[in-house]
Chains A and B, each alone.
Chain A
Amino acid sequence: MELLLHHLYLVSIFGYLLSAVISLIYLFVKKQNTGNIIVNALCIAASATAAAASIGKIFLGVEILNIFSLQATIPFITLEIRVDNLSAFFVLALSVLVFCVSIYSIGYISHYNGKRNIGLFNFLYVMFIISMFFVLTSANAVFFYISWEAMSLLSYFLVVFESEKEENQKAGTVYIVMTHLATALLFIGFMIIYHYTHSFDLMAAHNGTVIPEMARNIAFILFLVGFGTKAGVIPLHIWLPYAHPAAPSNVSALMSGIMIKTAIYGLIRFVLCYLGVQDTWWGIVILVLGILSAVLGVAYALMEHNIKRLLAFHSVENIGIILIGLGVSYIAFAQNHLLVGGLALTAALLHTFNHTLFKGGLFLGAGAIQYAVHTKDIEKLGGLLKKMPVTGFMVLCFSLAISAIVPFNGFISEWLTYQSIFANILPGQIGLNFFSAVAVAALALTGALAAACFVKLFGISFLGLPRSEQAANAQEVPKTMNIGMGILALICLGIGLFPLTILKLLDPVVGSLGGGSVFSQLQGGFMLAYYPLTVSPGSISPAALVLALAGIILLALLVIRIVGGKYIERKYGTWDCGFEALNARMQYSATGFSKPIKIVFRILFRPTRKITTEGDSFYYPESIEYATTVASIFEDYLYHPVIKRLQKFSQRTKYKIQTGSIHNYLIYIFAAVLLLMLYNRLA
């Protein structure tokens, strides 16, 4: 059995590599459509194999699978791939998403036909997937680092793929700078660990004991900032709202769906497994960052009217929710409450998986809108549900899922997060409990604001009257795109209705990370009940609830038919107060929709507005232009001052050190040689 799984993983890697080679060949072929289909079909097959292998590995209880190990002649560099439960779970998330995105890409990429080199795009796309695969499975820190760097660079090339647009270049620059700062910090972290353990092996668990406390804390902070930047934790999130909209939508789906989750993987792999959580404050820091990211992420998302920027801010929010779960679990682990820690870790991992599904789906939906309407601006959409019924239905499903509304999967992971916070409130630790209370309030506010935001997204773009010519002439997207989204939506609904299936899968994963078994505490059948102590904190059964909903709707239909008779409908125009000139511009706009919330939280948004009127009459102007801005406080008060100082500093050095005079440079060389000689002498 183990051999079979081993071969499945090898076949999957081989499949990806083969499709990379084929896309390279198609780099030089004029007609690229068949190449696109072959490459994506190979990706679909490879990801299905990897998904099957991962599920098999976790369920069969195989602890660690050594896939292959290539010793290079260069010291320290060993290409070693090993899959344990944690890796298998993240590989499963990656594979499910790649499976759906590749189906979607067959149709989506067709709009590049003749305009761009699809072979190049597909090569970058496949290599990006492979690099993420290696990040999630590499067995030593050096190979992890190489894969991580490859992942960052490949995603950078994908972000700037449509490089003729100036905003994409800026997005790429912000992204590459932020991601390299993060990588540098990770590098220092690895070095600190190597200094004490003399090993780059990742799987040697709980090495933290041999590292002195000070160094361990420093390593934790380095990892937190390094991975936090990749994850998009506030205040390190600024690259996300630039990079995600710039990339083609299938790449945005991968970046937001799984690439930022590799940082969550890193936080678990390096902090929980490698350093071992010993201090409560680690958990508290993660929890506070999670709370900040969740609330501010959704707040900024509400102010956005570019669909993909809006979704990018929602990624910040959802990373926040994951970190709340992770923070609670680290707090519980540090205090040896293994069952509570296990529950919170389950919640965090499940939300990671769920977010992969619905955020991937939402980016694919945004891509479908862009494909049909050629705009990312919500204010130019409207009435798309009639033109694109299938896409609209999918986006509705994903919107409900991300807003944590039953019967979709987002609710399950948020419910588990609430339950873990609930279980973590213990008498006698008022300080910790305070953070728990804040986390509850933050989660509630986040959920409600997210629902408001997705009513805006869905309502303004898919309902009402079309707000532009293109929206009025939109057509449904190719079938493959809808199938890709449909599979994701089905999995969202499946997890939402039958959460025990995925929890059973998560149980060994959490178990191998040292958490108590949550699944053994659950009731079977339809119920999702949880009994950690002697009393039951709560139980839910989404399936039963949906049955009740359906029953009530049927009953209502029946009673209304009996009492009210046959349904008679009269089509008529929307009430227009008697003006008889109702048009699309009189509808609420996305800006108008979120304005009350902007005013309530004006201390955060610092909105400005500018109204310019044209025409002589004050009361009857010919045209009015209304412009409004929202301040992004982190860029204005944190990044811009730092960048300004840096620029000033480098300007100064330019004139004082880099003078361009050959004499000065000769002195520098002389001084350097002198110093080296001195150093040699002393050492």
Chain B
Amino acid sequence: MKDCTPGRIGNEAMNSIAYIIIQLIVTLLAAPLVGGLIKKVKALTQKRKGAPVLQMYFDLYKLLQKTSVVSEVSSWIYKAAPYIVFATALTGALLVPVSTKIVPVLIPGDFIMLVSILALGRFFMMAAALDTASTFGGMGSSREAMISSLIEPSILVALFTVGLFSGSTSLPRMMQTVQVTGFPLAHPVYMMVGLALLIVIIAETSRIPVDDPSTHLELTMVHEAMILEYSGRHLALLEYGAAVKQLVFITLFVNIFIPHDQLIPFMGFGAVILSLLLYLLKVVLMAVVIALIEVNTVKFKLFSIPNLAALSFILAFLGILQFFILGGHHV
């Protein structure tokens, strides 16, 4: 229960403010970097030099300077959507701690809330794509509807399973629980659930083999089709929002399945800095892994994606069944 002495509340408020600032700064700064890194790794594996790692920052800056071209057909939904998509992604980032060394007593949401808040962004994204009366937008929107509905059961069952270990749906608590269990991915339940979530990350961040972020060919595109009409600052917000969402999922994965804060035995300012550095290292590693997956697979045709989603769901479901059989004990 909450301790209500004034000093404690002051401390808590400070703690919360520090948490919010760290979350926002780390997410906003690191998110475009991950995209750049993936592109760079892909280029290097193809013996190309590739764009600079920081290219996305330059792109965003340039897009902000440009005039926005807005379709005559569209309504206010079209102009509101980029802000809502960006804000929901960033609010989602507030729910997924980058480091458990600084976490306020209560975070105003858990993973069910995270899924719902991202759904708010997706709802507006899909609606805005229909708003311009363009066939491309409708196509992207319709495909996104299919992919997101197929992937949502597996993301919730997977996180539900991880939550059962800690007896909580709160993400910080889930991350803190895995820190005392040794290496989680050695546990059969986590192994299944981890694989399921890896597929979820690929689908949710519109990467190969589900979607292709680098193409504008109408036969393949999903996310790119939805944002086809956008330009200027609206496009910048959508790109940035997508990058933030990608980082949120990567954070979720690395902090649950590769916990690092148990390696730092002390508390305080130094611990936070060290923890953040370790976190960034994990994110970089994850970016390389995603890039390598992208390089080594081809894009599936649209109606092969359900198989991938089914695989992810079956893994997650086997994970939860295994939890019932093995219980919360660690082997």
A599 to B313, CA, bound (A): 19
A463 to B81, CA, bound (A): 13
A545 to B237, CA, bound (A): 20
Q: Can you list 7 A-B pairs with a CB-CB distance of less than 8 A?
A: A437-B321, A452-B126, A455-B145, A463-B77, A463-B131, A523-B106, A539-B108
A448 to B200, CA, bound (A): 14
User: Which stretch, A232-240, A339-347, A417-425, A631-639, touches the partner chain B?
Assistant: A417-425
User: Which stretch, B163-171, B246-254, B292-300, touches the partner chain A?
Assistant: B163-171
Per-residue CB contact flags for chain B residues 38-72 toward chain A (1 = under 8 Å, else 0) read 00000000000000000000000100110111111
Note all chain B residues with C-beta closer than 8 A to A418: 112, 160, 169
Q: How far is the CB of A239 from chain B (nearest CB, A)?
A: 27
Note all chain A residues with C-beta closer than 8 A to B117: 406, 545
B11 within 8 A of A: no
Within 8 A of B (CB), among A415-449: 415, 418-419, 422, 425, 427, 430, 433-434, 437, 440-445, 447-449
6 cross-chain pairs, A with B, having the tightest CB-CB distances, nearest first: A588-B138, A541-B108, A564-B64, A459-B130, A538-B169, A452-B145
Find out whether the CB atom of B152 lies under 8 angstroms from the CB atom of A552.
no
Find out whether the CB atom of A567 lies under 8 angstroms from the CB atom of B68.
yes
Find out whether the CB atom of B133 lies under 8 angstroms from the CB atom of A465.
yes
User: Which stretch, B183-191, B269-277, B322-330, touches the partner chain A?
Assistant: B322-330
Find out whether the CB atom of B68 lies under 8 angstroms from the CB atom of A568.
yes
Find out whether the CB atom of B91 lies under 8 angstroms from the CB atom of A545.
yes
Note all chain A residues with C-beta closer than 8 A to B70: 569-572
CB within 8 Å for A449 and B167 given contacts A403-B123, A526-B108, A539-B108: no
Find out whether the CB atom of B106 lies under 8 angstroms from the CB atom of A527.
yes
Note all chain A residues with C-beta closer than 8 A to B72: 571-574
Find out whether the CB atom of B141 lies under 8 angstroms from the CB atom of A588.
yes
Q: How far is the CB of A7 from chain B (nearest CB, A)?
A: 42
CB within 8 Å for A445 and B145 given contacts A405-B120, A537-B168: no
A400 within 8 A of B: yes
Note all chain A residues with C-beta closer than 8 A to B229: 574-575
Within 8 A of B (CB), among A534-579: 535-541, 544-545, 548-549, 552-553, 556-557, 560, 563-565, 567-576
Q: Which of A527, A540, A560, A594 contacts B64 (CB 8 A)?
A: A560
Find out whether the CB atom of B73 lies under 8 angstroms from the CB atom of A434.
no
Per-residue CB contact flags for chain A residues 446-465 toward chain B (1 = under 8 Å, else 0) read 01110110111011101111
A290 to B70, CA, bound (A): 45
Note all chain B residues with C-beta closer than 8 A to A405: 116, 119-120, 123
A113 within 8 A of B: no
Identity of the chain B residue whose Cβ is nearest the Cβ of A384 in the assembled complex: B75
Task: Among A385, A406, A527, A567, find the residue whose CB has the most chain B CB atoms closer than 10 A.
Answer: A406
A556 to B244, CA, bound (A): 14
Note all chain B residues with C-beta closer than 8 A to A504: none
B binding-site residues for A, Cβ under 8 Å:
2, 61, 64-65, 67-77, 83-84, 86-88, 90-91, 94, 106-110, 112-113, 115-117, 119-120, 122-123, 126-127, 129-139, 141-143, 145-146, 148-153, 155-157, 160, 163-164, 166-170, 173, 228-229, 233, 236-237, 302-303, 306, 313, 317, 320-321, 324-325, 327-328
Residues of B contacting A: mostly: helix
A537 to B167, CA, bound (A): 6
Note all chain B residues with C-beta closer than 8 A to A404: 116, 119
Find out whether the CB atom of B71 lies under 8 angstroms from the CB atom of A572.
yes
Q: How far is the CB of B216 from chain A (nearest CB, A)?
A: 11
Task: Among B143, B233, B317, find the residue whose CB has the most chain A CB atoms closer than 10 A.
Answer: B233
A529 within 8 A of B: yes
Q: Which of A382, A414, A462, A592 contacts B142 (CB 8 A)?
A: A592
Find out whether the CB atom of B112 lies under 8 angstroms from the CB atom of A538.
yes
Q: Which of A437, A452, A582 contacts B133 (CB 8 A)?
A: A582
CB within 8 Å for A596 and B145 given contacts A463-B77, A540-B108, A574-B73: yes
Find out whether the CB atom of B94 lies under 8 angstroms from the CB atom of A560.
no
CB within 8 Å for A539 and B130 given contacts A452-B145, A552-B87: no
A575 to B133, CA, bound (A): 10
Note all chain B residues with C-beta closer than 8 A to A557: 83
Note all chain B residues with C-beta closer than 8 A to A587: 130, 133-135, 138
Q: How far is the CB of B310 from chain A (nearest CB, A)?
A: 10
Find out whether the CB atom of A400 lies under 8 angstroms from the CB atom of B116.
no
A399 to B153, CA, bound (A): 20
CB within 8 Å for A411 and B142 given contacts A536-B170, A572-B71: no
Task: With A414-B112, A464-B130, A588-B138 given, name 12 new contacts (CB 8 A).
Answer: A382-B133, A405-B116, A405-B120, A523-B2, A538-B169, A539-B106, A545-B108, A552-B87, A553-B86, A569-B69, A600-B150, A600-B303
Find out whether the CB atom of B83 lies under 8 angstroms from the CB atom of A556.
yes
Find out whether the CB atom of B110 lies under 8 angstroms from the CB atom of A539.
yes
Q: How far is the CB of B111 from chain A (nearest CB, A)?
A: 8
Note all chain A residues with C-beta closer than 8 A to B137: 588
A386 within 8 A of B: yes
Note all chain B residues with C-beta closer than 8 A to A441: 153, 156-157, 313, 317
Note all chain B residues with C-beta closer than 8 A to A448: 119, 148-153
A666 within 8 A of B: no
CB within 8 Å for A572 and B313 given contacts A523-B2, A536-B170, A593-B138: no
CB within 8 Å for A570 and B68 given contacts A406-B117, A596-B302: yes
Find out whether the CB atom of B135 lies under 8 angstroms from the CB atom of A586.
yes
Q: How far is the CB of A413 from chain B (nearest CB, A)?
A: 12
Note all chain A residues with C-beta closer than 8 A to B142: 588, 592-596
A683 within 8 A of B: no
A552 to B143, CA, bound (A): 29
A382 to B75, CA, bound (A): 12
A567 to B313, CA, bound (A): 44
A584 to B138, CA, bound (A): 12
Note all chain B residues with C-beta closer than 8 A to A191: none
Note all chain A residues with C-beta closer than 8 A to B116: 404-406, 411, 415
Find out whether the CB atom of B153 lies under 8 angstroms from the CB atom of A445.
yes
Q: How far is the CB of B316 from chain A (nearest CB, A)?
A: 8
Find out whether the CB atom of A535 lies under 8 angstroms from the CB atom of B87.
no
Note all chain B residues with C-beta closer than 8 A to A449: 149
Q: Which of A465, A556, A595, A599 contacts B73 (CB 8 A)?
A: A465
A551 to B319, CA, bound (A): 38
Q: Which of B130, B173, B302, B324 contacts A460 (CB 8 A)?
A: B130
CB within 8 Å for A427 and B135 given contacts A445-B153, A549-B91: no
Find out whether the CB atom of A535 lies under 8 angstroms from the CB atom of B167.
yes
Note all chain A residues with C-beta closer than 8 A to B303: 596, 599-600
A611 within 8 A of B: no
Find out whether the CB atom of A570 lies under 8 angstroms from the CB atom of B327.
no
A537 to B169, CA, bound (A): 5
Find out whether the CB atom of A596 lies under 8 angstroms from the CB atom of B146.
yes
Note all chain A residues with C-beta closer than 8 A to B73: 383, 464-465, 573-574
Q: How far is the CB of A407 from chain B (nearest CB, A)?
A: 8
Find out whether the CB atom of B110 lies under 8 angstroms from the CB atom of A570.
no
Within 8 A of B (CB), among A306-355: none
Find out whether the CB atom of A597 lies under 8 angstroms from the CB atom of B69.
no
Note all chain A residues with C-beta closer than 8 A to B153: 441-442, 444-445, 448
Find out whether the CB atom of A437 lies under 8 angstroms from the CB atom of B317.
yes
Q: How far is the CB of B218 from chain A (nearest CB, A)?
A: 9
Note all chain A residues with C-beta closer than 8 A to B228: 575
A452 to B123, CA, bound (A): 8
Identity of the chain B residue whose Cβ is nearest the Cβ of A573 in the assembled complex: B72
A538 to B109, CA, bound (A): 7
Find out whether the CB atom of B106 lies under 8 angstroms from the CB atom of A529.
yes
Q: Which of A399, A419, A425, A552 contacts B86 (CB 8 A)?
A: A552
A533 within 8 A of B: yes
Find out whether the CB atom of A456 lies under 8 angstroms from the CB atom of B108.
no
Per-residue CB contact flags for chain A residues 608-648 toward chain B (1 = under 8 Å, else 0) read 00000000000000000000000000000000000000000
Q: How far is the CB of B231 from chain A (nearest CB, A)?
A: 9
Q: How far is the CB of A564 from chain B (nearest CB, A)?
A: 4
Note all chain A residues with C-beta closer than 8 A to B90: 552
Q: How far is the CB of B284 from chain A (nearest CB, A)?
A: 26
